[in-house]
């Protein structure tokens, strides 16, 4: 039976390839669109991101329970069903032959998606006892699954590929544990400010968090007891590419990975939000709203494991909380004349702050402008631990960036309090040593450019990997290396 199913799969797949070529020919040459799209519907190849993660746990139990002699089918939503009788198996293979191998391919994708998802995600990462038991159980079950998935429906799986997935699971589990433990420690070390207590009272009164539908991550408006919005809460496990991102499976993944930016890991955005505020308040800039670590419990918080049509459980979330500020509008709402009214000293505070924290995501939506005042928000993608490309477009796009840096900021750059800021970021926000080294390199390079008489607009393209990477291996002679890279940059810009 297994040999027969293998040949059925093989020749149905070859038939599908031929039909694919014929379909493209009809669409391009004959113009018969209805026939072409009917063919596309029948032979559609599913991508793992199209399957719902709600069925992952159930599929995992089925894969461990099903005998090797039985087959599987998969629904469009990604729910596996065992083929227990020979009649069910025959019907599946006839249907598979009729649809040119699409059902079998769907089963393969769901099995691999289940294998990867269950390997890289944790159900309850905040309970140490549950976490330990869950990890031990998973290792045992995955070991059994390792010998089983290669035989499902006669599919010849690559054992080496599955072995790589198991190794990835072990490595990512260590990374996830580290991210979770750091977040728990950061929340525990912080003294709870009154505004967080106000938000908790509002939750107990039944004032639910309001999920923001814009953006690529999960963020919630938190209200006070008077129903007014008092702050924005960003759970660390709902940020972009985190396990419980509410946007959907395409933006979900394990904690600790490098997905959005090469210098940032998934799950560390809350540390960067708080770190940006600490730097701003220490230097006295006053352009970043107050930001704290926070922890809230409520059933409306999103979970990828939960069926939202059923009764939802209360979930405890950790993340960052930023106070809501009134009287500000995004930079994108201003016309050219209004842009010229922004105070130069306020604008240049933002320039220096972005250099210090290494902001890789500055855009017109996270620069807010008020009455002769600027506010900077959304600092999740800061403090990269690798040399990255910083597109400081606004330095040359706005007239204030073309003016020389004000004397007080020049003096600050020359006598920058690097040691106390490094200590504060490392002890309170768990910013790694490598990210703090990159901060020092950016500061030295930018300072050399300013002391050479250049404006921020002249240096807008200086903060790139081309000029920052050579500084990494020159720690003893960092100032000299920065001068060399500045000379190369200015020569290239003049040509």
Question: Which residue, 137, 158, 179, sits at the end of a domain?
Answer: 158
Q: How confident is the model at residue 286 (pLDDT cuts 50, 70, 90)?
A: very high
Instruction: Specify whether 178 is located in the same domain as 111.
Output: no
Judge whether 355 and 269 are in contact, CB under 8 Å.
no
Q: Is residue 334 part of a domain?
A: no
Higher-scoring residue by pLDDT: 12, 283: 283
Q: Is residue 376 part of a domain?
A: no
Q: Is residue 367 part of a domain?
A: no
Check whether 46 has a pLDDT greater than 50.
no
CB crowding 410-448: b at 16 or more within 10 Å, else e: eebbeebeeeebbebbeebbbbeeebbbbbbbbbbbbbb
pLDDT tens, 92-105? 888 877 776 777 77
CB crowding 352-365: b at 16 or more within 10 Å, else e: bbbbbbbbbbbeee
Instruction: Specify whether 67 is located in the same domain as 23.
Output: no
Instruction: Specify whether 181 is located in the same domain as 264.
Output: yes
Residue 25: which domain range?
11-38
Tell me the three-class secondary structure of the chain, residue by residue. CHHHHHHHHHHHHHHHHHHHHHHHHHHHHHCCHHHHHHHHHHCCCCCHHHCCHHHHHHHHHHHHHCCCCCEEEECCCCCEEEECCHHHHHHHHHHHHHCCCHHHHHHHHHHHHHHHHHHHCCCCCCCHHHHHHHHHHHHHHHHHHHCCHHHHHHCCCCHHHHHHHHHHHHHHHHHHHHHHHHHHHHHHHCCCCHHHHHHHHHHHCCCCCEECCCCCCCCEEEECCCCCEEEEEEEHHHCCCCCCCCCCHHHCCCCCCCCCCCCCCCCCHHHHHHHHHHHHHHHCCCCCCCEEEEEEEECCCCCCCCCCCCCCCCEEEEEEEEECCCCCEEHHHCCHHHHCCCCHHHHHHHHHHHHHHCCCCCCCCCEEEECCEEEECCCCCCCCCCCCCCCCCHHHHCHHHHCCCCHHHHHHHHCCCHHHHHHHHHHHHCCCHHHHHHHHHHHHHHHHHHHCCCCHHHHCCCCCHHHHHHHCCCCCCHHHHHHHHHHHHHHHHHC
Higher-scoring residue by pLDDT: 326, 494: 326
Instruction: Specify whether 245 is located in the same domain as 126.
Output: no
Judge whether 298 and 209 are in contact, CB under 8 Å.
yes
Higher-scoring residue by pLDDT: 278, 50: 278
Instruction: Specify whether 212 is located in the same domain as 139.
Output: no
Q: How far is CA 419 from the centre of its chain?
A: 30
Residue 21 CB partners (closer than 8 Å, separation 6+): none
Instruction: Specify whether 303 is located in the same domain as 438.
Output: no
Question: Which residue, 95, 128, 158, sits at the end of a domain?
Answer: 158
Count up the domains in the chain and report the number.
4
Q: Is residue 224 part of a domain?
A: yes
pLDDT value, residue 194: 94
pLDDT value, residue 115: 67
Q: How confident is the model at residue 288 (pLDDT cuts 50, 70, 90)?
A: very high
Check whether 74 has a pLDDT greater than 50.
yes
Instruction: Specify whether 133 is located in the same domain as 184.
Output: no
Q: Is residue 244 part of a domain?
A: yes
Instruction: Specify whether 125 is located in the same domain as 256.
Output: no
The lowest-confidence range among 79-88, 127-136, 348-357, 430-439 is: 127-136
Q: Is residue 165 part of a domain?
A: no
Instruction: Specify whether 151 is located in the same domain as 246.
Output: no
What is the residue-averaged pLDDT of the chain? 78
Instruction: Specify whether 481 is located in the same domain as 439.
Output: yes
Q: Is residue 369 part of a domain?
A: no
Instruction: Specify whether 117 is located in the same domain as 247.
Output: no
In which residue are the tokens 């990255």 written?
A: 388
Instruction: Specify whether 292 is located in the same domain as 215.
Output: yes
Q: Is residue 68 part of a domain?
A: yes
341-345 mean pLDDT: 90
pLDDT tens, 212-227? 877 788 899 999 999 9
Question: Which residue, 126, 158, 190, sits at the end of a domain?
Answer: 158
In which residue are the tokens 């604008």 written?
A: 347
pLDDT tens, 400-420? 888 999 999 999 999 999 999
């Amino acid at each position: 039976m297994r040999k027969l199913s293998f040949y059925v799969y093989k020749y149905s797949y070859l038939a599908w390839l031929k039909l694919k070529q014929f379909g493209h020919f009809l669409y391009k040459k004959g113009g018969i669109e209805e026939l072409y799209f009917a063919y596309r519907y029948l032979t559609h190849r599913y991508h793992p991101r199209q399957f719902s993660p709600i069925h992952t746990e159930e599929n995992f139990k089925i894969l461990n329970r099903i005998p090797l002699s039985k087959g599987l089918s998969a629904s469009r939503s990604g729910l596996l069903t065992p083929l227990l009788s020979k009649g069910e198996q025959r019907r599946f293979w006839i249907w598979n032959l009729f649809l040119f191998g699409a059902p079998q391919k769907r089963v393969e994708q769901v099995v691999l998606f289940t294998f990867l998802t269950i390997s890289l995600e944790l159900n309850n990462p905040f309970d140490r006892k549950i976490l330990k038991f869950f990890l031990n159980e998973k290792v045992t079950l995955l070991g059994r699954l390792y010998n089983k998935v290669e035989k499902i429906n006669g599919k010849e799986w690559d054992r080496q590929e599955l072995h790589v997935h198991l190794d990835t699971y072990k490595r990512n589990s260590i990374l996830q544990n580290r991210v979770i433990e750091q977040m728990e420690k950061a929340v525990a070390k912080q003294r709870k400010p009154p505004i967080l207590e106000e938000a908790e009272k509002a939750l107990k009164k039944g004032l639910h968090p309001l999920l923001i539908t814009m953006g690529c991550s999960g963020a919630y408006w938190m209200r006070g007891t008077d129903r007014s919005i008092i702050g924005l809460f960003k759970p660390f496990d709902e940020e972009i590419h985190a396990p419980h991102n509410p946007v959907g499976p395409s933006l979900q993944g394990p904690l600790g990975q490098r997905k959005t930016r090469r210098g940032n890991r998934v799950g560390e955005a809350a540390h960067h939000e708080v770190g940006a505020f600490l730097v701003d308040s220490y230097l006295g800039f006053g352009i970043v709203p107050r930001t704290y670590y926070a922890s809230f419990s409520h059933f409306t918080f999103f979970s990828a494991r939960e069926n939202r049509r059923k009764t939802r459980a209360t979930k405890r979330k950790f993340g960052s909380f930023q106070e809501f500020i009134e009287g500000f509008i995004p930079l994108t709402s201003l016309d050219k004349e209004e842009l010229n009214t922004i105070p130069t000293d306020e604008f240049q505070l933002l320039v220096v702050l972005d250099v210090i924290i290494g902001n890789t995501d500055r855009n017109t939506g996270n620069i807010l402008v008020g009455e002769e005042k600027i506010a900077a928000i959304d600092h999740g993608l800061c403090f990269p631990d690798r040399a990255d490309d910083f597109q400081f477009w606004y330095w040359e796009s706005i007239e204030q960036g073309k003016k020389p840096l004000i004397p007080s900021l020049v003096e600050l750059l020359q006598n920058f309090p690097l040691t106390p800021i490094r200590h504060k970021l490392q002890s309170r926000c768990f910013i790694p040593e490598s990210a703090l080294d990159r901060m020092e390199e950016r500061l030295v390079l930018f300072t050399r450019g300013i002391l050479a008489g250049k404006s921020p607009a002249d240096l807008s393209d200086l903060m790139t990997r081309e000029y920052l990477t050579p500084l990494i291996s020159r720690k003893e002679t960092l100032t000299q290396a920065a001068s060399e890279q500045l000379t190369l940059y200015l020569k290239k810009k003049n040509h």
